[in-house]
Chains A and B, each alone.
Chain A
Amino acid sequence: MYKTSDKLTAWFIGIGMATLFVGGSLGPIQKLEHVGINLYTALNSIGLASYYQGLTIHAVLNALVWTTFFIVGFFTFIIPRSLEKPLTMPKLNVLSLIIMVIGLVMAAIPILLNLATVLFTFYPPLQANPFFYIGLVLVVVGSWVAGYGFYATYLSWRKEHKGEQTPLIALGSIITMVMWQIATIGVAVELLVFVIPWSFGLVAGVDPQLARTFFWFTGHPLVYFWLLPAYISWYCMMPKQAGGKLFSEPLARLVFWLFLALSVPVGLHHQFVDPGVPQGWKIVHFVLTFSLFVPSMITAFTVIASLEIGGRARGGTGLLNWVRHLPWGNPSFAAQNLAMILFAFGGISGLTNSSYNLNLAIHNTMWVPGHFHLTVGSAVTLTFIGIAYWLVPMLSNKPLWSAKMGVWQAWTWFVGMLLMSNALHIIGLNLSVPRRTMLGAAPYAATDWQPMLIEAAIGGTILGISGLLFYINMVGTVLQKKRLETPIEMPVAEVYHAEEPVPNWLDAWRPWIVVTVLLIVVAYGPVLVNLISNMQLTSPGFKLW
């Protein structure tokens, strides 16, 4: 029944993992450069021109390609199973894979030829080769097409199941795709209307402030596009793996709807120190960003309560003793649980980032990569790795090569990330050390930065080892001859209070879409009208690498 979608999933996550391998490999090399161990001279011989070309590869592959490919693949797998029906229009989903791969190749060539060393934010007027931008557009368009395939499947399910509540896994996935569709309008306008014509020389200039604003319209909801699939696993799958039940299903639904409504109108909190954005709108986005913490706080309560049910069912007692009774020997569970713990720290530093004037203390310092390696680099990536520990065996019909190695991988990631992010947060906040900088060659680098940079380099190296353990395990799983003796099933958590009906407004699209669009119009309408009416397309392109 799921043959086509399973095959597609294998392609999506396989390509995603391959890109994470390349992008991730560059991470430890960056951290070593900061302490004076410069491996870039050696990498010159294989064509890497600079630290910043490597940083572009690291960021584009890890943050954009790995995440998007894994998410689309994961949804291609879980939506049909959650709705218990195969993809209605599988050709759309095949098409989405083809478009995304073409986009990936098209963007990768200029990056590898050092024609697009503009990092993943590609702030104009740094000007990359046009095919870099077109490739990125195609990756996004491909993910839209995957969304259309999911919507078609969902609509046909709704026709067949009138009056029934959408299963939570499918609902969360579809909400994520709809949010993504709305959010990516910003970067689509930036690239299609302004940047691509300018990179072809059809128009002479761009307005950098306007371009940044369109970028961050997409740039912050991008974070929730990464995170919500992890939330789906935490809410709907992990309780099952822990032997527990989903504690409060209606709240889980509410959380996904709140993310639809609130993910987009918060982007200006990335632009608190931008010169051209009016103060009042910065404050509006600051308040909206704070409101966005509430659904994440609810998630913390509900997910921990759901796991506690499992820990107690497995013999745990007392206030905290149940934690020890969780299935820590299961690598899929261990990885995701440790990812959640790291996310707690990342959430706190994220609150600082979005705190209006407090942001002055840490904007563009090492604090920021310290933060997002805990979120996208751990909450998301380590959770996806945890998912892979059951998903890859299920897809390949082969047992996980080594569960023990999987547990080691999860813990080394946890320890490496704690060391690295701790060091980066401290040097960012206390010493204003800039991010995205080849610090080993910076004339202003101070000796009191060294202890923390060394800690970060040790953490980064441990993370590199953790990554290797993951890839050895994946390759070992796929290449072995052994077959599964008992088939694996997708973990789906039961609901704790199943007798309580879920109110209808938590399964109704129209009111939530209206709220979403209204919030975006109110929070972004005036500021965009202001910027567009004062637009000055005066900046020519620069290629400074």
Chain B
Amino acid sequence: MHIDTRERNYIAISVLLMLIFATALMVSAFAYGIQVPVPYERVDPNTVATPGVSPWGDPVEERVRELAPNKYEAYILAQAWVFLPNVVTIPKGASLTLYVTSKDVQHGFNIQGTNINMMVLPGQVSTLTATFDEPGTYNIVCNEYCGVGHQTMYATIVVEP
């Protein structure tokens, strides 16, 4: 099969470019730990909010927990059209592990200006960990359509100085 030399070189460079990009991404994922959500556990969306059944059934004010100094976890329940708890307060420099699930439809969970961006599905638990070094208020915005009130669905993370 005849291929023009210039085109052949161009194809080789294209393939090389893809390999370089892919390698860079894998390095960022595994050497620097910038990761996507991975399967954690299954829950029943019909009972997940029932007290005593799961951490998302606990009182809202008890769903943000300090596990160790500067190490927090939060169990957030997404539902049309709120996140509960809708304010999470942590100190500057703390690491926060989020466990998010939905008791109704699909939602999105994006902490604006960060790499925390997850789909929230009924029946699944989405989890990622973030560290907040800058004090301030961060919006958590639902970025998946979930009905006519979708645009009102948000919460905040307050990072205290």
Contact = CB atoms under 8 A, between A and B. Distances in A.
Interface of A: 50, 52, 55, 117, 119, 123, 125-126, 207-209, 212, 247-248, 250-251, 271-279, 282-283, 286-287, 290-291, 293-294, 297-298, 301-302, 305, 351, 355-361, 363-365, 431-432, 434-439, 441-444, 497, 500, 502-503, 506, 534, 536, 538-540, 542, 544-545
B121 interface: yes
Interface string B125-141: 11100000000000101
B42 interface: yes
B21 A290 contact: yes
Interface in B110-134: 110, 112-113, 115-127
A298 B124 CA distance: 41
B89 interface: no
A275 B40 contact: yes
Interface string B12-31: 00110010011001101100
Contacts of A248: 2-4, 7
B2 A297 contact: no
B134 to A, nearest CB: 15
B59 interface: no
Contact of B36 (A212, A282, A437, A503): A282
Contacts of B35: 279, 357
Complex A-B, nearest 6 residue pairs according to Cβ-Cβ distance, in ascending order: A544-B147, A434-B143, A364-B143, A432-B112, A275-B126, A297-B14
Given A123-B106, A273-B119, A360 B112 contact: no
Given A364-B108, A432-B141, A437-B143, A251 B7 contact: yes
B21 A351 contact: yes
Contacts of B152: 441-443
B25 A356 contact: yes
B149 interface: yes
Contacts of B70: none
A355 B29 CA distance: 11
A21 B126 CA distance: 40
B38 A279 contact: yes
Given A294-B15, A357-B28, A357-B34, A275 B121 contact: yes
Contacts of A126: 105-106, 146-147
A43 to B, nearest CB: 15
A437 to B, nearest CB: 5
B4 A276 contact: no
B139 A444 contact: yes
Contacts of B110: 363-365, 432, 434
B11 A544 contact: no
B142 interface: yes
B24 to A, nearest CB: 9
Contacts of B69: none
Contacts of B122: 125, 208, 538-539
B123 A209 contact: yes
A347 B25 CA distance: 18
A536 B42 contact: yes
B154 interface: yes
A542 B124 contact: no
Nearest to B34: A357
Given A361-B115, A544-B147, A250 B105 contact: no
14 contacts: A273-B36, A275-B119, A279-B36, A291-B18, A356-B25, A363-B110, A364-B108, A432-B143, A438-B151, A439-B151, A534-B42, A538-B122, A539-B123, A542-B104
B61 interface: no
Contacts of B115: 357, 360-361
Given A275-B118, A435-B143, A436-B145, A441 B39 contact: no
A208 B122 CA distance: 7
Nearest to A436: B145
A125 B104 contact: yes
Contact of A50 (B3, B29, B117, B148): B148
Nearest to B141: A434
Contacts of A351: 21
Contacts of B80: 542, 544
A284 to B, nearest CB: 12
A279 B36 CA distance: 8
Given A360-B36, A361-B115, A434-B143, A305 B7 contact: yes
A395 B154 CA distance: 53
B39 to A, nearest CB: 6
Contacts of A500: 1-2
A119 B124 contact: no
B129 to A, nearest CB: 13
A302 B113 CA distance: 40
B39 A277 contact: yes
B45 A363 contact: no
A268 to B, nearest CB: 11
